[in-house]
Structure 1
Amino acid sequence: MSAKKVNFGKKPEALQPVDLEQWVSDRESVVSQPEQAQPEKMKRLTLDIPESLHKAIKRQAVDAGVTMADLLRDLLEQHYGTKQ
């Protein structure tokens, strides 16, 4: 019996805190903020790579302070197209 695979997208960005004094004095300017566009649907890619390459990618991601997935997404985006 195989396990069901679940797709976890990128971690959502934190919401900006609301200034309560401004909200009370000018509620419309705070409440009527435009909605952000829905993020593009994510697809999973499984790829076998040599251990040495995995370590090099992991080291670069740690040095840059990002996840391996974010680092590789950025590299693929630079090579294959622009974000929509």
Structure 2
Amino acid sequence: MAGKKVSFGRKPGAVEKPVDVEEWVTNREALVEIDQPPALVETTKPEKIKRLTLDIPESLHKAIKLKATSEGVTMVELLRELLEEHYGSKG
């Protein structure tokens, strides 16, 4: 039995410009801020984002996830807020 080859076209409205992964990782905040007025996006430079990897016990992970879910935010948003409260703007 010969297999039938099926080819699929591009998804309608697909982005033509290839995404530079390094640029996205480095500047994802700027690339995502399309809801802001153009003048504000051009004049505001987002702070560079750095990645932090942290090993925590599973029970703590579950507790953080439960708290974030109950507040309707992501774990990242919750943890950034907590870290900002403790370490941010102390200058």
Give TM-score, length-normalised by structure 2: 0.56
Bigger Cα Rg: 2
- Name the SS of the counterpart of 2:70 in structure 1: helix
**Which structure is richer in relative contact order (CA contacts within 8 A, separation 6 or more)?**
1
| Structure 2 unpaired stretches of 5+ | 1-20
| Structure 1 unpaired stretches of 5+ | 17-30
Cα RMSD between the aligned structures?
3.3
Question: Which structure: greater helix fraction?
Answer: 2
Residue in structure 1 matched with residue 40 of structure 2 by the alignment: 35
Question: Cα gap change, 1:14/1:61 in structure 2, threshold over 3 Å: closer, same or farther?
Answer: farther
Equivalenced residues, count: 65
Which contiguous aligned blocks of 4+ residues in structure 1 show a shift greater than 4 angstroms? 8-11
Give TM-score, length-normalised by structure 1: 0.60
